[in-house]
Amino acid sequence: MNYLILKIKMMGGNFRRISQKFYFVSFLSISLFMLFFSPVADGQKIKSLNEILQDGLKNNFDIQIVRNVSQISKNNNSFGNAGYFPTLEADGTGTESNQHINQQYSNGSDIQKTGVKTTNLTAGIELDWTVFNGFLMFAAKHNLNALDKIGMLNFRNQVEISSAAIISAYYNIVRQQEQVKVLKESIKISSIKLDIAKTKFDIGSASKLDYLQAEVDLNADSANYINQVASVKKAKKVLNYLIGEKDTSNYLVADSIILAPAISFNGLQSLALQQNEVILAADARREAALAQIDMAKSGQYPSLTLSSRYNFSDNQAQAGFILLNQANGLNYFGTVRWNLIEGGTVKLGIKNAHINEDIANLTYQDSIASINKQISTNYEDYLANINLVNLVKDNMKFAVENLDIATESYRIGKISLVDFRTAQLGYVNAVTSLENAIYSAKNSEITLMRLTGQIKKEVQ
């Protein structure tokens, strides 16, 4: 895939016609300034967007939360949870009594004992298997399948949302760094301008007012540079949060924002219908609603449960007619249940399930309409931003040429300091406007990719 690479190149070479003396003095002042205020680059590694995204997919908090929620739905989606399998239970009871016995018999004999112990022990294992429950188990499994699918789609949607935010934050740093570069260049220009004004003042060809104003301009540019360096650090903090890393800025990013080839509107909405996670999740909710209708209808049918139980009992007594009684054996039985009168709860459940189906269908249609609207409006923003990029690129060329002419003109005294400053600010604003336009176009592009399920292509 061919990419349109738009880079801002600093125009330092345009000022070579300035005398070597002025440039040497400017270089010393600028070097001292940068020594104290430039971001430290030694030992810093350039992190690509792909590397940043990989970190984000592993560590982003929103992704981790939705991943765990999705895992719960996946865990719940089992045949056992739907009621397909039998249940096996074991139980047991043991009792012991200590009694005083006074027994009289018909033959005239009697028994009187104190401290007679009697023990009873029963245990059993029972297997129950509901082989029919009005097709509830099948409907429940279909519902679990749909819920599992919804959880997976919600996870993928969160991945795309977080990825889009990470990409935007990454390119924001690129934009902020480019503005640092242009402000560095502006400081160089102001330093050269100050040297010219100082020389003119020393030889009496200009007033001290110009010299002082040049000092003010240099200080203003220096302040702007300091603030912009702080903006880069804050932008990195935002990105670090999104990728779940510690609050550190010990890395560099790319030096340019790359725009993909022109995006055509044709096919975007049909692509979203196939790949947009919000639409797919809404469709899965329709599947769940249908399964829930079948679950509600299962209450109209009888249920059949087959059971088998193995029992063991042991009764021992120190007095009485039966001193030992032991028994064990296997029993088989079946149970049929049919709720003939249930107060209309089953019909009510079916009615509400159909209403939920209507809601799911409406939500699905609304999600399609909403995504199509977002694609349409964001595509208009995309076209406007691309046109703005082309316009500002031409404007920047004029600003560079204008600054070049103004520099030479001020040096030989053809224009005033105010006119030179106007040309300088025009150059700074043109470069900044171009970077902002490219960044806005990139954000529009990212949004369109997210809405059509193509955000992963950004790093391919």
Angle between helix 268-275 and helix 417-451 axes, rounded to 10 deg: 50
Mean pLDDT is lowest, of 95-99, 210-214, 363-367, for: 95-99
> Percent of the chain, pLDDT > 70?
88
- The residue that leads in pLDDT, 26 or 289, is 289
Rounded Cα gap, residues 289 and 284, in angstroms = 9
Contacts 24+ apart (CB under 8 A), 261-268: 261/1, 261/2, 261/3, 261/4, 262/386, 263/379, 263/382, 263/445, 263/448, 265/379, 268/375, 268/379, 268/448, 268/451, 268/452
The mean pLDDT of 419-424, rounded to a whole number, is 92
Give the per-residue SS3 of 204-218: CCCCHHHHHHHHHHH
pLDDT for res 43:
54
Position of tokens 């042991």? 314
> Percent of the chain, pLDDT > 90?
63
The mean pLDDT of 223-236, rounded to a whole number, is 94
Query: What is the 3-state composition of the chain as percent helix, strand, coil, each rounded to the nearest 5?
Result: 65, 15, 20
pLDDT for res 38:
53
Looking only at the bridges linking them, the beta strands covering 45-46 and 251-252 are parallel
Q: Which of 197, 252, 194, 201 is CA-nearest to residue 222?
A: 194
What's the pLDDT tens digit per position in 281-334? 999 999 999 999 999 999 999 999 999 999 988 888 766 667 777 888 899 999
DSSP string, 278-336: HHHHHHHHHHHHHHHHHHHHGGGS-EEEEEEEEEEEEEEESSSS-SEEEEEEEEEEEEE
CA dihedral 317, 320, 326, 332 (to 10 degrees): -120
Report whether pLDDT(5) > 60: no
What's the pLDDT tens digit per position in 386-395? 999 999 998 9
Report whether pLDDT(25) > 80: no
Report whether pLDDT(21) > 50: no
Q: With cut-offs at 50, 70 and 90, classify the pLDDT of residue 407.
A: confident
pLDDT for res 173:
95
422 strand-pairing partners: none
Report whether pLDDT(441) > 60: yes
List Cα–Cα distances, 347 to 133, 151, 292, 293, 297, in angstroms.
17, 30, 13, 11, 8
What's phi and psi for 30, nearest 5 deg? -65, -40
pTM: 0.81
What's the pLDDT tens digit per position in 245-295? 876 667 888 888 989 899 999 999 999 999 999 999 999 999 999 999 999
- Contact (CB, 8 A) for 424 and 193: yes
pLDDT for res 323:
73
Average pLDDT of the residues of the chain: 86
pLDDT for res 457:
67
